[in-house]
Amino acid sequence: MKRIVIFCCLFMMQLHLSAQQPTITVSGKVMDAETGDPIPGASVVEKGTAKGVVTDFDGEFEFKVSGNATLEVSYLGYASASVKVNGRTQINISLEPQAQELGEVVLVGYGSQKKENLTGSVSTIAAEQIESRPVNNVMQALQGAAPGLLLTVGNSGGEPGANMNMSIRGVGNLQGTGSPLVIVDDIPLDNPSDLNNINPNDIETVSVLKDAASSAIYGSRAAFGVIIVKTKSGESLDGNKLTYSNSFIYSSPLNTPDMMNSLEFANYFNLAATNGGSGAVFSDEVMERIKAYLADPENTPVTVPNADGTRWQQYTGSNANTNWFKEMYKSVVMRQQHNLSFSGKQKGVNYNVSGSILDAPGIMNYGDDAYKRYTFNSKVSSKMNDWLTFEANLRLSRAETDRPSYDRGLYLHNIARRWPVNGVVMPNGSYSDGSEIPFLLQGGRYKETDQSLDGSVNFVIEPIKDLKIKPSLLYRTNNFNYGNHNAKVSVIEPDGEERFVRSNNGFSRYASERTYLSPNLVVSYEKSVNEAHNFAGLVGYQQEETNYTSLWGAKNDLITDGVPSISTGVGEDNVNDSAGSYATQGYFGRFTYNYKEKYLFEVNGRYDASSRFASDSRWDFFPSVSAGYNIAKENFWTIDQIEMFKLRYSTGSIGNQNVPNYLYVGRMPIRTNLWWLGNNGRPNYTLTPGIISPDITWETVSTDNYGVDVAALNNRLQFSFEYFIRTTKDMFGPAERLPAVLGTNAPQSNNANLETKGFDFNVSWKDMIGDVGYNVGLVLSDAVTTVTEYSNPNNLLNTYRAGQKLGEIWGFETVGLYQNQAEIDNGADQTPIYGGVWYPGDVQYKDLNGDGKVDYGDSTSDNPGDRKVIGNSTPRYSFGFNAGLDYKGFDFAMLWQGVAKREVWAGGAYTFGAVGNLWQSAGMKEHLNYWSEENPNGFFPRPTFRSTWRNQQTQTRYLQDAAYIRLKNISLGYNFQSNVLESLGLKKLRLFVTGENLVTISDISGIFDPEATGGYWGNGKIYPLQKSYSMGLNVQF
């Protein structure tokens, strides 16, 4: 396959252009046939060539063509026209207005359909929406682009190459396997995150299939929706086109907490210590030095005591003033991306070859982090004869990550806990032990590569009219590996002695390979009878096999950190590997019928098997049916301004086989004894196999979808609304507990159910006023998921239970802060929460059940004590608003994206500052607004290092409102006109500037980014997202 593709690409590049006919200069004007108004921006192309121009502001054009040429003229909202030149040099052309986009073709499962004939739930995203944003990856460009498609920031935050979480219409199941299936040029990706290995500039269109009727034909991996990506193909006209584009992006941290200065911090910690019954952390002498340094840092020395084997003296005896968040991140970094593509058509062969390079350094100020991505994409299609077409696609990607090996979660956890009194460097020039800098600079590197090769070979056979037979072979392989070096780390103490803050070292390496092979056969037939009865059907067969292997090895005690490898380690060998495979097989079919595009009907079915289930439970059938009624096609419809008013309904089910392999097989895991025996050996042993569940079978995901689509005013106004109910039955969940005397746990079984209800909405308007074109659009969606069945007979709150809405936050209702001892004495008894003494400035909780005390009850939904549902962490009412203008070559666009409702409980040091002890505590500016007798209206409780959980219960007072609206993108560009392009010998030239994440509106604490509230080690402890400015060009030869 690879040789075929390479041969075709080279062959295309070596083709000579056909001989030129005698040329003439033809000019003219393109006008609206009804009004006579000029049409600026219309495309005028010489048929059979790549020569063409765009009309100017007065609708006029001029370029050289052959004397016997045919001009093809087109513009959005008008019927295209073909005009023969016949030697003329002056030609005026009129275009007939027509409804826009109603005939647009949309990608669906194993084919395409006209947009107006769809009966399922499908949203489309055009290439322009992706190309206009110079982002690092495709996922970022899809945010806010389609209703029901939710992309959220994961725990990696804004790291270079970070992935996002993707879902369609909310949570799919409880196992975290409810992600959509992503298909790129017919090849399914292993994970949605692999979409980030695709160059955004290669994408031609994206379809989002949201209901069972649309996605069921793809089978078991499509239970929670499908995202179909089609990359760009060759040109439809003979000729060649070379395109180069670039973008230079300048990024800065978007949101970092504002830390206390050293004096505020020292006073705050001293107060927290004394409130907890301890002595002051900072002595009077140190406090005076801190004050002096703040008043005159140029002339006041920073004193750093010798560590004497601990850090305590350096922490409590230093007097610098460091904002660690500002110190650890660069103020700006430059990223760049370059794209090159060559496409065309010669003698019946269409081809498109493209490549890209992304260089995206991170914002780490010490121990630079970086991400690089290289992509190559080739698509060739050749019309071999009247009945046979050959297609070959090849896509390569390689992503490289290079960063400090210091644990990213620990690093982000520690930044906030670093004391501002510690300086960046000590007076002797050594980096401070009271920071992460030595670990970042000396601690070794983590280097990762992720490389994929995707290929497909297709034949399209048309033995008779309207019948197509398409056999294909799909192949995908992914190689992922990393090397992780943990080196020794030392600092030079003030007395000049070297002290190791990490004295051990080691190296580990991991390598994995995953291969996917899938032969397919699809037979389709279309027929129209009397231009009224329109039939289409297809049947197909798909087989998939996935194999994976991995190997991990590690050794400690390297003889040198200069050559990190397993071979240079002298410690104990530590090696592990894994291997596995799974397969699916399916037969599928679809039948569609419409009568004059008025009455619409479609039925799908798929008979699927998965190797993850025992043979008796392996096969199942999953059908779907959908129907639509376009009332505007009826003769009695008299509202001429509405071209489409379509009602539609779909219902269907899909099987989900995303469960672990080999659950139905009894296994005896091998373990190694931890103790050495006298013969210097450690014997292996096996565990007793547990009870298996041979009846484990498919989850069944069923969807009912109700929709209405409207197109009006020459399709300038488009509107769509959908309401859906999705049920997930027979999910993988815990079985009933067995008697302890049995000696083993019961196996999991298909015994849990979910129900998701929600809606998708989008509306858009596109029009022109004189020379100004403009468009606005809004997408809005919501989904609420409820557990309807789960094995939790006691309704415990610490696990799932029937009736629970996913994302529920249970907590106390806060009355306020105690102002005096009388309020404590006369209030409800709060000792069930904390049995010690309560003080003024502590939190007062509400006694909801009126029993005179505040407690947890039985921690069940039946008896939760004085807790209740106080919020929900599920994003609600996700939206995107876009607007654009174009005028005489200039174009402007912006996208606002956000979430209208979401709560987050983010306990710990980021929220409260002073927590269980001073080493775990933090000091942000916001934390200074604490209760005291002088500040009785303070927001935070009195700071203390002792028994802080009394005040830090999950509660309403400190619940974060994470709703937000963010200016995701704003862009301004200019497309040079035809007269300039012709003088430069170019077909296209566009310059642009853009901004990303420039404005955020949210009520959340300034400590947090409302879009990135997660973190590996706790809420908010996350690599910052970035705002950016970019500039670039797009030139076409």
The DSSP secondary structure of 523-536, one letter per residue, reads EEEEEEETTTEEEE
pLDDT of residue 432: 87
Angle formed at CA 303 by CA 300 and CA 309, multiple of 5 degrees:
170
Q: pLDDT grade, residue 744 (50/70/90)?
A: low
pLDDT of residue 697: 83
Bigger pLDDT: 70 vs 97: 70
Looking at 985-1032, list the stretches that DSSP marks H as alpha helix, in order from N- to C-terminal side.
Answer: none
The fraction of the chain above a pLDDT of 90, given in percent, is: 68
Residue 1015 CA to residue 325 CA, distance in Å, equals 16
SS3 874: coil
Assigned token pair, 837: 């003494």
Angle formed at CA 587 by CA 584 and CA 593, multiple of 5 degrees:
140
pLDDT of residue 103: 57
Residue type, 1026: Q
Residue of 131, 150, 151 lying closest to 231 (CA atoms) = 131
Burial 904-937 (b: 16+ CB within 10 A, else e): bbbbbbbbbbbbbebeebbbbebbbebbeeeeee
Question: pTM for the full model?
Answer: 0.87
pLDDT of residue 174: 85
pLDDT at residue 743 greater than cutoff 80: no
pLDDT per residue over 324-364, tens digit each? Answer: 999 999 999 999 999 999 999 888 899 999 999 999 999 99
pLDDT at residue 295 greater than cutoff 70: yes
pLDDT at residue 12 greater than cutoff 80: no
Cite the beta strand spans of 436-505 per DSSP E.
Answer: 445-461, 467-486, 489-492, 498-502
Residue 58 CA to residue 36 CA, distance in Å, equals 12
Do the Cβ atoms of 805 and 913 come closer than 8 Å? no
Cite the beta strand spans of 35-180 per DSSP E.
Answer: 43-46, 52-54, 60-66, 70-74, 81-84, 90-95, 105-108, 111-114, 122-126, 149-153, 164-168
pLDDT per residue over 1006-1030, tens digit each? Answer: 999 999 998 888 888 999 999 999 9
pLDDT of residue 359: 97
pLDDT at residue 50 greater than cutoff 70: no
Q: pLDDT grade, residue 566 (50/70/90)?
A: very high
Q: Range with the lowest mean pLDDT among 175-179, 479-483, 584-588?
A: 175-179
Mean pLDDT of 615-635: 93
pLDDT at residue 228 greater than cutoff 60: yes
pLDDT of residue 81: 87
Q: Range with the lowest mean pLDDT among 225-239, 807-821, 858-872?
A: 225-239
Residue type, 680: N
Assigned token pair, 676: 């050495």
SS3 878: strand
Helix (H) or strand (E) holding 622: strand 619-630
Angle formed at CA 118 by CA 202 and CA 631, multiple of 5 degrees:
140
pLDDT of residue 1016: 86
Cite the beta strand spans of 662-748 per DSSP E.
Answer: 670-672, 684-686, 699-712, 717-733
Mean pLDDT of 385-407: 95
Residue type, 335: R
- In angstroms, how far is CA 366 from the centroid of its own chain? 27
Helix (H) or strand (E) holding 408: helix 408-415
Cβ-proximal residues to 893 (8 Å cutoff; 6+ apart), any chain? 132, 882, 883, 884, 885, 969, 970, 971
Q: What is the DSSP pairing of strand 903-904 with strand 960-961?
A: antiparallel
pLDDT of residue 1017: 87
Residue type, 542: Q
pLDDT at residue 1036 greater than cutoff 60: yes
Q: pLDDT grade, residue 813 (50/70/90)?
A: very high
Mean pLDDT of 425-430: 88
Mean pLDDT of 445-456: 97
Do the Cβ atoms of 1030 and 998 come closer than 8 Å? no
Centre a 10 Å sphere on the Cβ of residue 221 and count the other Cβ atoms it contains. Answer: 23
Residue of 705, 628, 626 lying closest to 117 (CA atoms) = 628
- Concatenated DSSP letters of 201-240: GGEEEEEEE-SHHHHGGGGGGGTT-EEEEEE----SSSEE
Do the Cβ atoms of 1012 and 981 come closer than 8 Å? no
Secondary-structure percent of the chain, ordered helix, strand, coil, rounded to 5: 10, 45, 40
Strand partners, 374: 357, 398
Class of domain 2-95: mainly beta
Q: pLDDT grade, residue 740 (50/70/90)?
A: low
pLDDT at residue 927 greater than cutoff 80: yes
pLDDT of residue 13: 39
pLDDT per residue over 164-221, tens digit each? Answer: 999 999 988 887 778 899 999 999 999 999 999 999 999 999 999 999 999 989 988 8
Residue type, 520: N
pLDDT at residue 308 greater than cutoff 70: no
pLDDT of residue 209: 94
The fraction of the chain above a pLDDT of 70, given in percent, is: 92
Q: pLDDT grade, residue 617 (50/70/90)?
A: confident
Q: What is the mean pLDDT of the chain?
A: 89
Burial 313-345 (b: 16+ CB within 10 A, else e): ebbbbbbbbbbbbebbbbeebebbbbbebbbbb
Mean pLDDT of 931-936: 96
Residue 537 CA to residue 535 CA, distance in Å, equals 7
Assigned token pair, 297: 């840092």
Helix (H) or strand (E) holding 243: strand 239-253
Residue type, 846: K
Centre a 10 Å sphere on the Cβ of residue 469 and count the other Cβ atoms it contains. Answer: 15
Mean pLDDT of 725-748: 76
Burial 248-261 (b: 16+ CB within 10 A, else e): ebebbbbbbbebbb
Residue of 1017, 992, 902, 1032 lying closest to 413 (CA atoms) = 1017
Mean pLDDT of 494-501: 87
pLDDT of residue 14: 34
SS3 274: helix
* DSSP state letter for 939: S
Q: Range with the lowest mean pLDDT among 520-524, 528-532, 706-710?
A: 528-532
Burial 95-116 (b: 16+ CB within 10 A, else e): beeebbbbeeebbbbbbebebb
Torsion on CA atoms 896, 900, 905, 908, rounded to nearest 10: 30
Looking at 451-583, list the stretches that DSSP marks H as alpha helix, in order from N- to C-terminal side.
Answer: none
pLDDT of residue 739: 66
Residue 889 CA to residue 989 CA, distance in Å, equals 11
Residue 567 CA to residue 615 CA, distance in Å, equals 46
Mean pLDDT of 678-682: 54
* DSSP state letter for 807: T
pLDDT at residue 163 greater than cutoff 80: yes
pLDDT per residue over 852-871, tens digit each? Answer: 999 999 999 999 999 999 99
pLDDT at residue 15 greater than cutoff 60: no
In degrees and rounded to multiples of 5, residue 263 shows phi and psi of -70, -45
SS3 775: strand
Helix (H) or strand (E) holding 314: helix 312-317
Length of the chain: 1037
Residue 1 CA to residue 474 CA, distance in Å, equals 10
Centre a 10 Å sphere on the Cβ of residue 1015 and count the other Cβ atoms it contains. Answer: 23
pLDDT of residue 712: 94
To which residue do tokens 């994976």 refer?
548
Helix (H) or strand (E) holding 141: helix 138-142
Helix (H) or strand (E) holding 623: strand 619-630
Q: pLDDT grade, residue 239 (50/70/90)?
A: confident
Residue 47 CA to residue 45 CA, distance in Å, equals 6
pLDDT per residue over 822-846, tens digit each? Answer: 999 999 999 999 988 999 999 999 9
Q: pLDDT grade, residue 689 (50/70/90)?
A: low
Centre a 10 Å sphere on the Cβ of residue 454 and count the other Cβ atoms it contains. Answer: 25
pLDDT per residue over 102-148, tens digit each? Answer: 557 788 989 888 888 999 999 999 888 887 777 888 998 999 999 99
Residue type, 341: S
pLDDT of residue 586: 94
Residue 149 CA to residue 821 CA, distance in Å, equals 53
pLDDT of residue 18: 34
Assigned token pair, 292: 């002096």
pLDDT of residue 3: 41
Assigned token pair, 453: 């090769």
